[in-house]
Chains A and B, each alone.
Chain A
């Protein structure tokens, strides 16, 4: 008999449960599934939707089971006639103020409100009346905000502030006129939005969706004058299977290549190749700074949402940011120069398309700093979700298609390139190469387990030729804020800091598939499985260090010379500049 347990009754059935949890948590463990909507295990308790109400004996009103703690002797009812009607009416009230254009909606068949309405038995409406009507915000390159579809669950607001630390979104106005928007109703493009897309991931409806470029791409794939070149990010292959009903963590690399070829791409390259290239540049940059006592810590810059976050909120750390472009932009730069020369084609005829797990990459692609020889390097960015739709729309049997291989010369990658998609991966890959470049010896124990896993800020130490290097890894912009505050407080605390904008790294990106029925977005189990897929990919490879990638070596030999060469600087490096949000005049966030 466990004395620490308390006794509660759910629907007259007695259970022994742990104290200190909410009714919902206890009920979940007792085999109930109380309907819910605004609740999200990663976010603070909002108690706003009132879908998870239950009746507790002795309490006059219903209580929100997500927020109310269990107590010994508590008698809980989850499914009375009265409650069923109340829940049904609450969901109807949400629907009554919703466009109900489900058939033409981006989330048709994948909408939590739709599922909830179905399970509440909403077959008839009693209360319809006026419906809110707002303009869509189409200003951003990445994220569309459609307040008409918003049911004000507040998940996006909490995600944006609690996990991402961006504080772009908030509720504004009162009562029926309440609407979620950036401060002063600024268009997204002018707001502090980092385009990370996590609002899309947690939105139960289509109030936030990525800006869709698939139609444009389909048009261009039919243009015979264009040479269409694709690149695929590591995390896309680890997650896209979920959109086809497969469990998380299936590596679908070969299927993606096959499907893209089916759609008509002329060349299909691997962003993991350019991840290796990034490592060559970034590891060299790091060693240069260590040796010349340049600005340390070196802070990674491959995450696009992080680029914008840093320019907005940490402009004082710009000198610490690696100038190496992200793998996507490096690949695109090589496609429009090295590769174009190789196939003797006019780079202006090349359409460079990046398949990414990320909405912020759409923003990155549009940054003028990343143009190559006057051309836009990445022409179109497509998220995992959009790719899944393209595959379905093209009539491809994705699960059973015969896998194919990436094309040369930008298709071969090391294991280090694969783990870029997981938090800690860039650091791990960089250390594998830096160690060897610096010491001349091969790092044997190459799996840096200290910086794996999903802890917010991970710290580790490695010895480099007698010198201790202190490393830090942060994922999710809120955690980045923590790590960066440590840096601000003590510049010598770390030598190398990896920052990824999304929780879990790219595998948790804002463009990843919506969760399967009954699993939540950013569910840690799914993230773990996606991460395992990439770690597995690393382990399967014979080449696990970026500098050992023969195609990378060939690229340097034939085209770039060596890392940090003049040509490398021209094509593979970029620069950052302060981008202070409106109303903010100092890096310490003083509001005028």
Chain B
């Protein structure tokens, strides 16, 4: 018996399979039965447990499987890999290097939890602290990691006022986008005499490509439940509502189970933990309107009317749901609360920057090596996120811009890469924190086209109530569309700026007030691209179809493949001679470009 084998025999293994939406879609559930079968086969069943967890954040590498002890994270695991993992790692204690995510890097603060993965190096997980570690559907898992201890503490040792004061002192600001100080919001509601009061968790995450809230709830629903209960105690509310979009079935299932389990444990309901505080949570499903993430629209939706924002003041903290004082915070904000209570405002303040405390979760996406869910301390620079956590730009391409803050954020070019992530700095740079979308853009993207993409989204999702947003974004979109089609006119950029600035200042709600951001920020930072489109008919990224021409170079060997696929017979040439594209006939479908095996066709 080898030494490794000896060691392995002595060890009890705990294997965690990620049960987040992305990993499930990538087949993680098939791994479980295979794993079980292999453990049986090798007589390891008695000494191994398989547990499920929420999202680890490394979604592009799913399905994820973690073998403990040893914190070995395996990515892109297929069923076929299971016998190898079991035999090599579990039986012979030889981790399968080709699947392991960890590389040989310096020690990082998550080593104890996740081993030495560069992905986690600059991360700091407060709200996601349990994600990927506990079984989200098992309340005992949560309880074992100090779950509901914060709630117990506020109910036994703290007055509602001192809870509000603690949250205020922590400097926590709303993670939904606007960054309003959470403690102040709570204070307003606590001061109201009208009852009943409500606390609402805004889980109506609608940004394209964003999945912070979904993953947080899928990975650790109890922290949201606990945070809301603490909030309810602090402001004097007896009822909580989780407003979550119906498109998140797994998150809904888990938060529902968490609420039921908490109720069964006396952590929700009448006289929680024997105190005089009673609080319960119900779930309301959103029907998929982006604008319902706006707090007044969300309230209308819960009340059963059309989800349209209304002018503020009065703010929901004074007149909210059914006209009663209501605290609305988003998932991430709520998830911070138990930690602030447990570790104290003083500790929380040490994380982050002068004006922005704590961490922020981002859904990192686009042209970056590691896409997924990350949580970094406020003040981390964009460069650190993109190059250290994100692993840089794939394919040796050049970085062009990063778009933060979801569809209504701005696009920041290279000179802003050292901008620290906090509310003020991002705003100063011309973007927003938003709820945490972060999309990396490389040189293959056309900035006009990107602006058009985001505006198309907000245009579609405008509730249609106020004129600037409903009509104005439509006109902006029409102008952008014609620019990308090569029909831009002199003065179009100025019209976009004129409309954009007006819409920002005159719209009723945050959706309209931020909808022009992608356009205005790309005009500010990439004006020359707009000008090239309009005046030279050129798209430097060669994305805008109408502005691209396909040409055949001398690399052509005359194989005729392009001639055969061209649907409009625009290509002519004889065998073994360089072919030619008739530009008058070409419809720019790109079939020839994709077909050529000799890189002889270029986009100009």
Inter-subunit contact A177/B506 (CB<8 Å): no
A47-B310, A130-B478 given; A176·B471 CB < 8 A: yes
Note all chain B residues with C-beta closer than 8 A to A129.
474-475, 478
Q: Is A62 an interface residue (CB 8 A)?
A: yes
Question: Which of A126, A127, A151 gathers most chain B CB within 10 Å?
Answer: A127
Inter-subunit contact B466/A49 (CB<8 Å): yes
Q: Is A394 an interface residue (CB 8 A)?
A: no
Note all chain B residues with C-beta closer than 8 A to A173.
464
Inter-subunit contact B495/A175 (CB<8 Å): no
With beta carbons under 8 angstroms apart, the residue of B289, B499, B502, B507 that contacts A174 is: B289
Q: Is A67 an interface residue (CB 8 A)?
A: yes
> Which residue on chain B has the smallest CB distance to residue A86?
B502
Inter-subunit contact A85/B502 (CB<8 Å): yes
Q: How many Å from the CB of B332 to the closest CB on chain A?
A: 25
Inter-subunit contact A67/B468 (CB<8 Å): no
Note all chain B residues with C-beta closer than 8 A to A119.
none
Q: Mark B465-499, 1 if CB is under 8 A from A, else 0.
A: 11110111111001000000000000000010011
A67-B311, A93-B467 given; A62·B505 CB < 8 A: yes
Note all chain A residues with C-beta closer than 8 A to B495.
126-127
Q: Mark A82-94, 1 if CB is under 8 A from B, else 0.
A: 0001100110011
Q: Is B508 an interface residue (CB 8 A)?
A: yes
Inter-subunit contact A93/B311 (CB<8 Å): no
Q: In the complex, which residues 49-66 of chain A have their Cβ closer than 8 Å to any Cβ of chain B?
A: 49-51, 53, 60-62, 64
Q: How far is the CA of A170 from the CA of B306 in the complex (A)?
A: 8
Inter-subunit contact B467/A48 (CB<8 Å): yes
Q: How many Å from the CB of A162 to the closest CB on chain B?
A: 12
- Chain A interface size, as a band, is 35 or more
Inter-subunit contact B498/A89 (CB<8 Å): yes
Note all chain B residues with C-beta closer than 8 A to A61.
504-507, 513
Q: How many Å from the CB of A81 to the closest CB on chain B?
A: 13
With beta carbons under 8 angstroms apart, the residue of A93, A130, A152, A171 that contacts B468 is: A93
Q: How many Å from the CB of A24 to the closest CB on chain B?
A: 12
Q: Is B594 an interface residue (CB 8 A)?
A: no
Q: Is B460 an interface residue (CB 8 A)?
A: yes
Inter-subunit contact A175/B475 (CB<8 Å): no
Q: Is B155 an interface residue (CB 8 A)?
A: no
Note all chain B residues with C-beta closer than 8 A to A49.
466-467
Note all chain B residues with C-beta closer than 8 A to A176.
459, 462, 464, 470-471, 474
With beta carbons under 8 angstroms apart, the residue of A93, A130, A171 that contacts B306 is: A171
Question: Which of B313, B472, B502, B504 gathers most chain A CB within 10 Å?
Answer: B502
Q: In the complex, which residues 492-548 of chain B have their Cβ closer than 8 Å to any Cβ of chain A?
A: 495, 498-499, 502, 504-508, 513
- Chain B interface size, as a band, is 20 to 34
> Which residue on chain A has the smallest CB distance to residue B502?
A86
> Which residue on chain A has the smallest CB distance to residue B469?
A175
A45-B311, A94-B471, A176-B474 given; A154·B506 CB < 8 A: no
Q: Is A178 an interface residue (CB 8 A)?
A: yes
Q: How far is the CA of A571 from the CA of B466 in the complex (A)?
A: 52
Q: Is B149 an interface residue (CB 8 A)?
A: no
Q: How many Å from the CB of A106 to the closest CB on chain B?
A: 23
Q: Is B308 an interface residue (CB 8 A)?
A: yes
Note all chain A residues with C-beta closer than 8 A to B498.
85, 89, 126
Q: How far is the CA of A48 from the CA of B311 in the complex (A)?
A: 9
Note all chain A residues with C-beta closer than 8 A to B478.
129-130
Note all chain B residues with C-beta closer than 8 A to A127.
475, 495, 499
Q: How far is the CA of A103 from the CA of B15 in the complex (A)?
A: 77
Note all chain B residues with C-beta closer than 8 A to A152.
464-465, 467, 470
Q: Is B463 an interface residue (CB 8 A)?
A: yes
Q: How far is the CA of A178 from the CA of B478 in the complex (A)?
A: 18
Inter-subunit contact A90/B475 (CB<8 Å): no
Q: Is A96 an interface residue (CB 8 A)?
A: yes
Q: In the complex, which residues 403-417 of chain A have their Cβ closer than 8 Å to any Cβ of chain B?
A: none
Q: In the complex, which residues 97-149 of chain A have their Cβ closer than 8 Å to any Cβ of chain B?
A: 97, 126-127, 129-130
List the 6 closest pairs (A to B, CB-CB), nearest first: A178-B464, A47-B311, A67-B311, A93-B471, A175-B462, A129-B478
Interface residues in chain A, defined as those with a beta carbon under 8 Å from any beta carbon in chain B: 45-51, 53, 60-62, 64, 67-69, 85-86, 89-90, 93-94, 96-97, 126-127, 129-130, 151-152, 154, 170-171, 173-178
Report 14 cross-chain contacts, Cβ distance below 8 Å, ordered by A residue.
Answer: A49-B467, A60-B505, A85-B502, A86-B505, A90-B467, A127-B475, A154-B465, A170-B306, A171-B308, A175-B470, A175-B474, A176-B464, A176-B471, A177-B464
Told that A61-B506, A89-B502 touch, could you supply 12 new A-B pairs with CB distance under 8 A? Answer: A47-B508, A49-B467, A50-B506, A50-B507, A85-B498, A86-B502, A90-B472, A93-B468, A129-B474, A170-B306, A176-B462, A178-B470
